[in-house]
């Protein structure tokens, strides 16, 4: 049994590794060392922006639940995340270099995986396409020609060097004291906050004309666009001071900095994805006292994010309608986010294994987050947009249980039982 996987990002790495560990010969093709506009490293399975894989709470958060489902399905990225974890309160954040290095090493060391460095120009008739939101060159054109493609704009946040942060204007604390002190907080007085918001809203943006098309994904809205909605918008969002105390006092507003690597040499500005011109990023974020002399290791950028209109061309097992041996996985298939992309790659691995063994597809039920996402991408939807893990897509249940915490615990336990059933059906 053999299969070709195109793209060794979050989704492709998961699919390739799962298949190889189940006796399939895998050719894994990636254009690296040639890089897309967002990828920076030659390592595979790169996290292109934030180093956070979001909440790790399986019993209280849908993305946390998805991660636990993935662990139970033998996810390589969850294994890598555990290996490269950095403190981040209730979130699972990783040292991005260690994370990619771990996955790259696992893929390279596997005797049944052949890694090929090549930009694929054509759409194959079978295999898995997992080339992500920045699918390059001829392959992008071929996919567009066959399926048409949709896109939205997405922004990333700046990263500053730790040694350039003025610690006399910070305090270390996780929100509500949950976690192990992974966040550095930059408190702002009312005057500082309002001055910052005014500067943010009026600062010069790059490629302004493209934003005005209004195709920005709500979850990745640039901080300057959020700020323009009202002076207090950030203070009730990314900059909210709840659960934080500076010397016993709740600050007016807070920018949180999160460690980018285990050594804590760099910090990402949480929730500050932006499309300001680079000089403006230095000037405006420099108005936050702790960042007055910050050195920017990476600036925020806005980029195009492409995906298929999945309901019209994909089945719930991520195969192409009318081409049962061709699969799409990851962001291009209509899921959104690192964890969701990896999850769809892992699940596609299960589906391809099943197909290679001549068995009918088994779709996990929508009482699991991974099954709910499969359902979402394939259900008719006139306004289709990529989706991240959330309780809204998950099937309901336990409505009679009034306590939200208890209800979510029951939803999680129901999901775990279904995941075991799904595994047993596919792997026997
Ligand atoms: C700039 C940016 C920032 C993002 N920030 C976040 C974030 O902070 N948090 C979050 O949860 N999600 C974020 N996302 C969304 C999404 O989670 C990531 O894009 C995620 O990496 C998608 O995983 P993937 O496996 O689908 O694609 P990728 O991880 O992008 O992997 C695709 C792979 O395919 C390769 N490739 C592309 N074209 C070809 C070709 N023609 N031939 C061969 N190889 C090819 C690439 O080199 C790459 O290795 C961001 C996306 C972008 C673009």
Residue identifier of the C-alpha nearest atom 4 of ligand 1: 49
Given this model, what pLDDT does residue 215 score? Answer: 57
Cα–Cα distance measured from residue 63 to residue 343, given in angstroms and rounded to the nearest whole number: 11
pLDDT tens digits, residue range 33-50? Answer: 999 888 889 999 999 988
Q: Is the CB of 271 under 6 A from ligand 1?
A: no
- Would you say 119 and 137 are in contact if contact means Cβ atoms under 8 Å apart? yes
Average pLDDT in the 99-106 region? 98
Share of the chain above pLDDT 70, in %: 97
Confidence check: pLDDT of 68 > 90: yes
- Closest ligand 1 atom to residue 139 Cα is 41
Mean pLDDT of the chain: 92
Cα–Cα distance measured from residue 404 to residue 200, given in angstroms and rounded to the nearest whole number: 37
Q: Same structural domain for residues 11 and 142? A: yes
Given this model, what pLDDT does residue 218 score? Answer: 60
Q: Burial level of 232, CB count in 10 A (0-12/13-18/19+)?
A: middle
- Would you say 42 and 21 are in contact if contact means Cβ atoms under 8 Å apart? no
Residue 97 maps to a domain: yes
Q: Which of 15, 43, 48 to mutate to test the pocket of ligand 1 (most atoms within 8 A of CB)?
A: 48
Q: Same structural domain for residues 57 and 120? A: yes
Report residue 208's pLDDT band, with 50, 70 and 90 as the boundaries.
very low
- Would you say 330 and 10 are in contact if contact means Cβ atoms under 8 Å apart? yes
Taking the centre of ligand 1 as the mean of its atom positions, its distance from the CA of residue 338, in whole angstroms, is 8
- Domain span at residue 381 reads 2-149+308-427
Report residue 266's pLDDT band, with 50, 70 and 90 as the boundaries.
confident
Is the omega angle on the peptide bond into residue 33 within 30 degrees of 0, that is, cis?
Answer: yes
Confidence check: pLDDT of 198 > 90: yes
Who's near 270: CB < 8 A, 6+ residues apart?
A: 157, 183, 238, 255, 256, 257, 258
Q: Burial level of 142, CB count in 10 A (0-12/13-18/19+)?
A: middle
Q: Same structural domain for residues 209 and 279? A: yes
Q: Same structural domain for residues 361 and 228? A: no
Q: Same structural domain for residues 286 and 347? A: no
Q: Same structural domain for residues 8 and 145? A: yes
Residue 237 maps to a domain: yes
Which helix (H) or strand (E) element contains residue 104?
helix 96-109
Counting runs of H as helices and runs of E as strands, what totals does the chain give?
13, 17
- Would you say 275 and 155 are in contact if contact means Cβ atoms under 8 Å apart? yes
Q: Is the CB of 132 under 6 A from ligand 1?
A: yes
- Would you say 207 and 122 are in contact if contact means Cβ atoms under 8 Å apart? no
Give the C-alpha distances (Å, rounded to integers) separating 40 from 258, 272, 399: 20, 20, 46
Q: Same structural domain for residues 29 and 81? A: yes
Residue 334 maps to a domain: yes
Confidence check: pLDDT of 16 > 90: yes
Given this model, what pLDDT does residue 209 score? Answer: 42
Q: Is the CB of 334 under 6 A from ligand 1?
A: no
Q: Same structural domain for residues 107 and 139? A: yes
Residue identifier of the C-alpha nearest atom 11 of ligand 1: 337
Given this model, what pLDDT does residue 288 score? Answer: 98
Task: Select the more confidently predicted residue: 180 or 111.
Answer: 111
Which helix (H) or strand (E) element contains residue 80?
helix 76-83
Cα–Cα distance measured from residue 349 to residue 352, given in angstroms and rounded to the nearest whole number: 5
Neighbours of 354 (CB within 10 A): 17
The pTM of this model reads: 0.81
Q: Same structural domain for residues 217 and 331? A: no
Average pLDDT in the 151-180 region? 87
Residue identifier of the C-alpha nearest atom 15 of ligand 1: 337
Given this model, what pLDDT does residue 384 score? Answer: 85
Average pLDDT in the 63-74 region? 98
- Alpha carbons within 13 angstroms on the beta-carbon side of residue 96 total 25
SS (H, E, C) 126-158: CEEECCCCCCCHHHHHHHHHHHCCEEEEEECCC
Residue 154 maps to a domain: no
Report the C-alpha dihedral over residues 254, 256, 257, 261, rounded to 10 degrees: 160
Report residue 151's pLDDT band, with 50, 70 and 90 as the boundaries.
confident
Confidence check: pLDDT of 302 > 90: no
Taking the centre of ligand 1 as the mean of its atom positions, its distance from the CA of residue 279, in whole angstroms, is 26
Q: Is the CB of 9 under 6 A from ligand 1?
A: yes
Share of the chain above pLDDT 90, in %: 78
- Closest ligand 1 atom to residue 39 Cα is 47
Instruction: Collapse the DSSP code of 113 into the 3-class scheme (helix H, G, I; strand E, B; otherwise coil) and give the result.
Output: strand
**Residue ending a domain, choose from 303, 338, 364:** 303
Residue 5, φ and ψ in degrees, nearest 5: -115, 125
- Asked whether the CA dihedral 311, 315, 317, 322 is positive or negative, the reply is negative
Confidence check: pLDDT of 323 > 60: yes
Q: Is the CB of 258 under 6 A from ligand 1?
A: no
Given this model, what pLDDT does residue 224 score? Answer: 95
pLDDT tens digits, residue range 229-239? Answer: 999 999 999 99
Given this model, what pLDDT does residue 235 score? Answer: 97
Residue 323, φ and ψ in degrees, nearest 5: -135, 75
Residue 185 maps to a domain: yes
Counting the structural domains of the chain, the total is: 2
Report residue 265's pLDDT band, with 50, 70 and 90 as the boundaries.
confident
Q: Is the CB of 137 under 6 A from ligand 1?
A: yes
Residue 99, φ and ψ in degrees, nearest 5: -60, -55
Which helix (H) or strand (E) element contains residue 190?
helix 190-202
Taking the centre of ligand 1 as the mean of its atom positions, its distance from the CA of residue 196, in whole angstroms, is 32
Q: How many residues comprise the chain?
A: 428
Confidence check: pLDDT of 325 > 70: yes
Q: Same structural domain for residues 63 and 19? A: yes
**Residue ending a domain, choose from 241, 272, 303:** 303
CATH of the domain at 377: 3.50.50.60
Q: Same structural domain for residues 312 and 414? A: yes
Q: Is the CB of 29 under 6 A from ligand 1?
A: yes
Taking the centre of ligand 1 as the mean of its atom positions, its distance from the CA of residue 193, in whole angstroms, is 34
**Residue ending a domain, choose from 285, 303, 321:** 303
Given this model, what pLDDT does residue 4 score? Answer: 98
Residue 260: left (phi > 0), alpha (psi -120 to 50), or beta?
Answer: alpha
Q: Which of 13-27, 99-113, 184-198, 386-400 has the lowest mean pLDDT?
A: 386-400
CATH of the domain at 166: 2.40.30
Taking the centre of ligand 1 as the mean of its atom positions, its distance from the CA of residue 132, in whole angstroms, is 4
Task: Select the more confidently predicted residue: 95 or 221.
Answer: 95
Q: Same structural domain for residues 142 and 178? A: no
- Would you say 28 and 5 are in contact if contact means Cβ atoms under 8 Å apart? yes
Q: Is the CB of 43 under 6 A from ligand 1?
A: no
């Amino acid at each position: 049994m053999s299969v070709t996987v195109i793209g060794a990002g979050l989704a492709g790495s998961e699919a390739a590794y799962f298949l190889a560990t189940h006796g399939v010969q895998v050719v894994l093709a990636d254009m690296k060392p040639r890089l897309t506009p967002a990828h920076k490293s030659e390592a595979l399975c790169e996290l292109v922006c934030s180093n956070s894989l979001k909440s790790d709470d399986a019993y209280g958060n849908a993305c946390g639940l998805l991660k636990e489902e993935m662990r139970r399905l033998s996810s390589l990225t969850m294994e890598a995340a555990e290996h490269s974890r950095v403190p981040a309160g209730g979130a699972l954040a990783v040292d991005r270099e260690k994370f990619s290095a771990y996955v790259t090493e696992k893929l390279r060391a596997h005797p049944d995986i052949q890694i090929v460095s090549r930009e694929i120009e054509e759409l194959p008739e079978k295999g898995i396409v997992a080339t992500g939101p920045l699918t390059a060159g001829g392959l992008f054109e071929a996919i567009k020609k066959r399926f048409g493609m949709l896109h939205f704009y997405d922004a990333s946040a700046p990263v500053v060097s730790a040694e350039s942060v003025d610690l006399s204007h910070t305090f270390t604390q996780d929100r509500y004291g949950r976690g192990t002190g992974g966040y550095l907080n930059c408190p702002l007085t009312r005057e500082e906050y309002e001055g910052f918001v005014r500067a943010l809203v009026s600062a010069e943006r790059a490629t302004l004309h493209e934003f005005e098309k209004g195709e920005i994904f709500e979850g990745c809205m640039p901080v300057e666009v959020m700020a323009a909605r009202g002076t207090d918008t950030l203070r009730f969002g990314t900059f909210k001071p709840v659960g934080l105390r500076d010397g016993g006092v709740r600050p007016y507003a807070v920018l949180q900095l999160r460690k980018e690597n285990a050594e804590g040499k760099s910090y990402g500005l949480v929730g500050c994805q932006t499309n300001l011109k680079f000089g403006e990023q230095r000037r405006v974020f420099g108005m936050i006292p702790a960042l007055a002399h910050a050195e920017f290791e990476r600036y925020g950028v806005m980029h195009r994010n492409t995906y298929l209109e999945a309901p019209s061309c994909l089945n719930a097992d991520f195969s192409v309608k009318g081409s049962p041996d061709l699969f799409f996985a990851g962001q291009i298939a209509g899921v959104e986010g690192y964890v969701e992309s990896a999850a769809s790659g892992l699940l596609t691995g299960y589906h391809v294994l099943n197909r290679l063994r001549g068995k009918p597809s088994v779709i996990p039920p929508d009482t699991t987050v991974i099954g709910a996402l499969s359902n979402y991408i394939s259900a008719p939807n006139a306004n289709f947009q990529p989706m991240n893990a959330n309780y809204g897509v998950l099937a309901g249940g336990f409505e009679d249980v009034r306590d939200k915490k208890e209800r979510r615990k029951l939803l999680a336990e129901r999901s775990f039982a279904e995941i075991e059933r799904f595994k047993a059906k596919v792997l026997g």
